[in-house]
Structures are given as structure tokens and as C-alpha cells.
């Protein structure tokens, strides 16, 4: 199942979710109406009064459910970080020096680069000793990944990679959006228990007072309504668990399989699942909100449940290791009861960390470190070897140099949102090649802004001067000078590392207050509009980061965003193909042939003349929102057509690959590194 088919599956799950929610609401309304009729002795009323009474109760019930669901959904518009903080999550600073937290951030950064998505926010749940994790958010740009303290302490690096890879599968495939929407709907149908508890308590108390005052127990109907709402609420609980199980169980198998695909080994995620089964804490959370987020967790939130949100643990392990014997969990449990495993010690034994690595600090100290954003990164952090001040030469097969690779559009489509172990190796090599001073600046809240603008300044002196003047005029001389100094420092920085460095800076940028983010958005837009001579690679990088920042600042929580058909967006799609042909092929004849190859892939049998827009890449400003709203199948054809234009001769250069990755990012079709990994 490729990415686009998975998107179609998510659409079907969304439809199923709506239907199940409607059925649950209908059941709750029936229960409330029956209880209200009995409580107020309205069954003997005439038909007109009875109909009016039922209508009034139905409207009130629907209003309560709908309003609660709406309020909860609006409260979750803060993105994945909002969910993590509600569960007690503490953000992990981008420049943390804590060994365990640094290891976690490095794993997340590598997985993000390998997946072709922005680096998400990272949280730790310090009060949770069990092994668990989750990813939450509306889009990859406002996503957060959270792990428990137990996961940090008990899992070695391979196992932590497996868990994070599992969560990234939910990030890149759009499962997060469905999960966070489900939270809002579930709150709506569970809200009646809160109302019912209050009414029942008020009715009992009021009834007692009435009896004392010889008033005949006038509060009895109120108590009965409260009890009825409690019953209806528990019907909602039952329905909610059914919905969670229906939506999430099969996706957990797919995410486990994706984790194996990402890391090309089963021992990591299988080892994490075995530790959940063998340790006394398992995956159970202490948070009172655990049932609300149970469907988005790595493991079951509670030990027992009538309707489990996850497949049985032994079945998940057996799917990864067919020879697995469940009795092994009992053996591990007896062994670990006396000596619980330590992830850091296992790292040393496996050669994943040096023997002299600093030991984990006291939990209170670690929590203080996680909450302190002003610590500076050390170049000798155990999980990152010290590097020289200049980018290292590329490793064999890493995305560098000016080579060309043979490519077929179908194979590129199979890579969308499907990073392989080779892509993960590339991501690790990319991090290894970026000098520590630049990594430190990318992870620093203040230094990341001029660094980003420096990355976006054009290499052409005349264009750069226009950009510098525009930034100075609209955003101040100080920022313009800082951006120019950063651009000068990046003169010899390899082009293929610019997009990864910008993505690594994204968490530090996103951590800024909203007014500062708005100012940064304006500065990036200024660079895009400063001069029409900006080249397509510089433009697309700017546009990608602009889109990511906008989404993190204003997450899109609309129910459906992929409604458009290709026939309705033909002009925008053709404009994209014409711009790519124009900028990628200086020769007019070659450009036209590349354009026709794209049109033939996008709209077979259609004859459309080659007419590139006069304003070049800036013509795409109005095209992106239209194209990003395409249905999954049509977006798949558009990406294939884009590949056909760029690789008209059947080959791709590294700059063309990076350009394609950027375009796919703008269209929310994350494309992992491909160099040395695609053949045709």
C-alpha cells in the first residue's frame, strides 16, 4: 500500500468515524428521551405535547454533544504540543545536553530527515514510568512526538528508534489528523456523564433538603434525569471504545510494519514490545486522560479493556517475529523483576554508546533540564561524535555531489512517505556532515532566525542585494545584516544540505511567540517577492518553509481538505509543469519536450501548448493552495507528472531531486532522500 492509497484509506476511516459517531449519538438520544419521559411522567401526555417534549429533549441533547465536541476540537487547535502538555508532557529543548534527551532528539531528527517531514516538537512524560509514546497534530508541521520516562530509561537506541519509527508512520500517513479529530468527537459523547453526575448529585442533595422541609421530594425528577444521563454517558463510553478500536487496531499493525521498513530490522520495535510485556509497568499510563488518547498511543493505555484499542501484544510481536513464543514474556518478566533493564547500559553493551558516556542524571535534574531552553549544545554529546568546523565529504551513496541517477516515476511514487533503511542511513550521514557550529545555531532560538534567512538569500549577487534591501527596509537593518552574515558563512555549504539544515532549525523557529512568528513569516515572504529573478530551487525552499511556519502557527483543523478534482485544477497543474520545464531546460526544444512528457502523464491524450507564465516561479503562489487540495489519486498523478518533467531524459541530478522533494513537501507528499536508492 503506497502513500496515496493510504490517504484513500484514511478518507474511508474518516467516513466510518462519522457514521459510528452518528450511531452513537442516536443511541444516546434514545436513552435520554426514554429516561426523560419516565422522569417527568410525560408518557401520558397528548401526542402533540409528547412530540414537542421529545423534540425539546433531542435538541438539548444534540446541542450538548455538539457544543462539547466543538469546544474540545477548538481547544486542540494548538496542535500536537497541546495534547502532550495536557498529559503532563515537558518539552525537550532543541539544544539539550542531557544524554537521554539528546539521544531522543537525535533519533527524532534523523527520522524526520529520512521521512522528508519537518522535525516535530519532542516531549517527555516525566511522571509516566511505563513504556509508551504517541504522535499528535493536525499536520506534520504542528506535530509533536512524546515518549514516557519509562521508554527513555528502559529502551536501548534500537528499540527507541523502532518506537519513534512507528509514531512517524502515523505522522507521514495522516493518521494523526484522524486521531486528534476522534479526541474531539469522543469528548462530545462522553460529556453527558459530566452533566449527569452533576444533576444526579444536585437532585439527591435537593431531594434530601426537600424531605426535610416536607416538600414532597420535588428534586426526584432532577436526580432521575441525572442518573439517565449517567447511563447515556456510559453508553457513550462503550460507543467511544468501539469507535477507537474500529479506527485504530489495524493501523497499529501497519505502523509496526512501517517501523521495520524504516529501520530494516525487527529487533528494535519487537524488543520494545517485549519490554512492555515483560515489565510490571507495561504500557499503562497514570494520567486521567489516558482513555481519551488511548487510540493514539504506542501501547494499551490500561491493562484491561472490553474493547482494546490495540491488537494483543503477543500477536504484534508474532507478526514481527513469527517464531516468537508468548512464554518468553513470562521468562523476561521473572528476570526483569529482579533487575529491570537499562537502555543506556544496553547501548554500551551493543556498541551504540561509548562506555564512558555520562550516566542518566536524577529525574528531577532531567526535568529541570527539559524545561530550560537556554542550555548550549556540547560538541562532545555522547550520541553525536565531535565534528570538524567544515562539512565533511559525502559518504558513498549519500545525497551529495553533482552525479546523476536513473529514475522511473513509478518508483519515486513508491518512495513517497515510505523511507527505507537507506534513507535513514542518508539522514544519519546528513547530520554527521553538518558542522556542529551550524547545528548549534539551527537549534538555538535566537540564532536560528538569521540562519534561516541566510539559507534563503539567493546565491546571485544582484538578487541577493535586492533581498537584503527589502528585508532591511521592512524588517530592520539589524536582521538584514545578521541574515547577510549567515549567508556569507554558508557560501561553501553544500546545496544538498540546505533543506535538511532548514528543517533542523524548524523546531527552534516554531518555539517563538506568535508575534515573532508572524514577523518571520513576513520576512520569508519578503525574500520570495524581492526579485522575480529568484531561481526555482531558492523559491521552493522558501515556499516550503513558509508553508510549514504558517501551518504551525495556524493549524488547519477542517474536516476535509482534499476535495478538488484534477479537471477543476488543470490550469494550476499545467502552470507548475510549465515552470519546471522552463527553469530546468534552458533549451526551448528540450523544455517543450519535458513539458509534454509531464502533460502526457497528467492528462493522457490532451494537447496543451507549452506557454510558461511570464512571472516564472511567482506564478505558483496562487497554484499551491489549489494543488494541495487535490484528491489523493489526482495528487498521485500530479507528482508523477512532476517527476516526468524533471527527469525527461530518464535521469535526475541531485539538485533536481532536492527540488522534487521540496515540491512534494509543499504538496504534503513527503519524499525521503533517494540518492543511490532509486534505479530504473
For the annotated catalytic residues, the residue numbers are 167
Q: Which grid cell sits at 405? A: 541517477
499 closest CA partner among 463, 461, 544, 460: 544
Residue corresponding to grid cell 519578503: 526
Parallel/antiparallel/unpaired status of strands 144-148 and 121-125: parallel
If phi > 0 it is left, if psi is from -120 to 50 it is alpha, else beta; for residue 518 that is alpha
Q: Is 47 exposed, middle or buried (0-12, 13-18, 19+ CB in 10 A)?
A: exposed
How many residues comprise the chain?
Answer: 680
Q: Do the strands 651-653 and 144-148 form a parallel or antiparallel pair, or are they unpaired?
A: unpaired
Would you state the torsion angle of the CA atoms of residues 23, 29, 34, 37, taken in this order, to the nearest 10 degrees? -160
Q: What are phi and psi of 476, to 5 degrees?
A: 105, 145
Cα–Cα dist 339/254, whole Å: 33
d(CA 509, CA 456): 15
* Residues near 401 by beta carbon (within 8 Å), at least 6 away in sequence: 394, 654
CA separation for the pair 577, 611 (Å, rounded): 10
What gap in Å lies between CA 237 and CA 229, rounded to an integer? 12
DSSP 651-663: EEEHHHHHHHHHH
In angstroms, the CA 71 to CA 86 distance is: 15
Query: If DSSP codes are grouped into helix, strand and coil, which group holds residue 608?
Result: coil
- Answer for the pair 119, 112: CB distance below 8 angstroms, yes or no: yes
Q: Are 262 and 165 in contact (CB under 8 A)?
A: yes
Nearest residue to 303 via CA among 334, 276, 336: 276
Cα separation, 673 vs 113, in Å, equals 8
Measured between alpha carbons, how far is residue 326 from residues 273, 317, 330, 357, 501 in Å? 12, 9, 8, 35, 44
- Exposed / middle / buried, residue 280 (Cβ in 10 Å: 0-12, 13-18, 19+): exposed
Find where cell 513576513 sits.
522
| Count of other CB atoms within 10 angstroms of residue 36 | 22
With helix as H, strand as E and coil as C, how does 107-143 read? HHHHHHHHHCCCCCEEEEECCCCCCCEEEECCCHHHC
Q: How distant, in Å, are the alpha carbons of 50, 483, 486, 539 from that of 474? A: 67, 14, 19, 19
**Cell digits of residue 396:** 558513498
Amino acid at each position: 500500500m503506497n502513500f496515496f492509497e493510504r490517504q484513500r484509506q484514511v478518507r474511508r476511516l474518516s467516513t466510518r468515524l462519522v457514521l459510528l459517531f452518528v450511531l452513537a449519538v442516536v443511541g444516546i438520544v434514545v436513552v435520554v428521551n426514554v429516561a426523560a419521559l419516565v422522569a417527568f411522567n410525560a408518557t401520558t401526555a397528548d401526542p402533540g405535547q409528547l412530540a414537542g417534549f421529545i423534540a425539546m429533549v433531542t435538541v438539548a441533547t444534540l446541542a450538548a454533544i455538539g457544543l462539547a465536541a466543538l469546544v474540545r476540537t477548538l481547544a486542540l487547535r494548538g496542535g500536537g504540543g497541546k495534547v502532550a502538555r495536557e498529559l503532563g508532557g515537558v518539552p525537550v529543548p532543541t539544544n539539550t545536553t542531557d544524554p537521554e534527551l539528546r539521544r531522543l532528539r537525535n533519533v527524532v531528527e534523523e527520522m524526520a530527515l529520512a521521512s522528508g517531514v519537518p522535525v516535530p516538537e519532542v516531549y517527555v512524560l516525566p511522571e509516566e514510568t511505563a513504556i509508551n509514546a504517541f504522535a499528535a497534530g493536525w499536520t506534520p508541521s504542528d506535530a509533536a512526538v512524546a515518549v514516557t520516562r519509562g521508554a527513555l530509561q528502559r529502551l536501548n537506541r534500537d528499540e527507541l528508534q523502532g518506537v519513534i519509527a512507528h509514531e512517524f508512520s502515523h505522522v507521514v500517513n495522516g493518521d494523526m489528523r484522524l486521531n486528534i479529530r476522534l479526541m474531539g468527537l469522543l469528548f462530545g459523547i462522553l460529556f453527558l456523564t459530566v452533566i449527569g453526575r452533576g444533576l444526579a448529585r444536585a437532585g439527591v442533595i435537593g431531594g434530601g433538603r426537600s424531605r426535610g422541609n416536607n416538600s414532597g421530594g420535588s428534586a426526584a425528577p432532577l436526580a432521575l434525569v441525572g442518573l439517565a444521563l449517567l447511563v447515556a454517558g456510559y453508553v457513550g463510553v462503550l460507543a467511544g471504545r468501539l469507535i477507537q478500536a474500529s479506527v485504530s487496531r489495524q493501523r497499529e499493525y501497519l505502523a509496526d510494519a512501517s517501523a521495520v521498513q524504516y529501520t530494516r530490522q525487527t529487533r528494535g520495535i519487537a524488543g520494545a514490545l517485549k519490554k512492555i510485556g515483560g515489565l510490571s509497568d507495561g504500557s499503562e499510563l497514570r494520567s486521567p486522560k489516558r482513555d481519551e488518547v488511548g487510540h493514539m498511543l504506542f501501547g494499551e493505555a490500561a491493562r484491561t479493556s472490553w474493547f482494546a484499542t490495540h491488537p494483543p501484544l503477543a500477536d504484534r510481536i508474532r507478526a514481527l517475529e513469527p517464531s516468537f513464543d508468548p512464554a518468553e514474556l513470562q521468562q523476561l518478566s521473572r528476570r526483569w523483576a529482579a533487575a529491570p533493564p537499562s537502555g543506556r547500559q544496553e547501548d554500551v553493551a551493543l556498541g551504540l554508546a561509548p562506555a564512558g558516556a555520562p550516566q542518566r542524571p536524577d529525574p528531577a535534574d532531567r526535568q529541570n533540564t527539559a524545561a530550560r531552553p537556554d542550555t548550549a549544545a556540547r560538541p562532545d554529546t555522547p550520541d553525536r561524535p565531535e565534528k570538524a568546523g567544515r562539512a565533511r565529504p559525502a559518504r558513498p551513496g549519500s545525497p551529495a555531489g553533482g552525479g546523476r541517477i536513473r529514475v522511473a516515476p513509478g518508483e519515486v511514487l513508491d518512495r513517497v512517505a515510505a523511507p527505507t533503511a537507506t534513507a535513514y542511513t542518508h539522514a544519519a550521514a546528513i547530520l554527521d556532515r553538518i558542522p556542529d557550529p551550524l547545528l548549534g545555531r539551527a537549534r538555538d532560538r535566537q540564532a536560528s532566525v538569521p540562519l534561516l534567512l541566510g539559507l534563503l538569500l539567493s546565491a546571485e549577487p544582484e538578487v541577493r542585494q535586492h533581498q537584503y534591501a527589502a528585508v532591511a527596509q521592512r524588517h530592520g537593518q539589524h536582521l538584514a545584516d545578521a541574515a547577510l552574515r549567515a549567508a556569507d558563512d554558508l557560501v561553501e555549504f553544500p546545496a544538498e544540505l540546505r533543506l535538511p539544515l532548514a528543517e533542523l532549525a524548524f523546531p527552534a523557529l516554531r518555539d517563538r511567540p506568535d508575534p515573532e512568528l508572524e514577523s518571520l513569516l513576513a520576512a520569508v515572504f519578503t525574500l520570495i517577492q524581492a526579485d522575480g529573478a529568484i531561481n526555482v530551487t531558492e523559491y521552493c525552499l522558501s515556499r516550503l518553509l513558509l508553508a510549514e511556519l504558517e501551518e504551525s502557527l495556524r493549524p488547519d483543523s477542517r474536516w476535509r481538505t482534499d476535495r478538488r478534482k484534477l479537471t477543476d485544477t488543470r490550469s494550476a497543474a499545467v502552470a507548475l509543469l510549465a515552470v519546471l520545464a522552463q527553469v530546468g531546460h534552458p533549451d526551448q526544444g528540450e523544455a517543450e519536450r519535458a513539458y509534454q512528457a509531464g502533460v502526457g502523464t497528467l492528462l493522457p491524450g490532451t494537447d496543451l501548448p507549452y506557454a510558461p507564465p511570464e512571472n516564472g516561479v511567482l506564478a505558483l503562489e496562487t497554484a499551491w493552495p489549489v494543488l494541495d487540495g487535490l484528491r489523493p489519486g489526482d495528487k498521485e498523478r500530479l507528482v508523477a507528472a512532476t517527476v516526468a518533467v524533471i527527469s525527461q531524459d530518464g535521469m535526475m541530478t541531485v539538485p533536481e531531486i532536492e527540488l522534487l522533494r521540496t515540491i512534494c513537501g509543499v504538496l504534503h507528499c513527503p519524499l525521503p532522500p533517494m540518492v543511490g536508492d532509486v534505479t530504473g
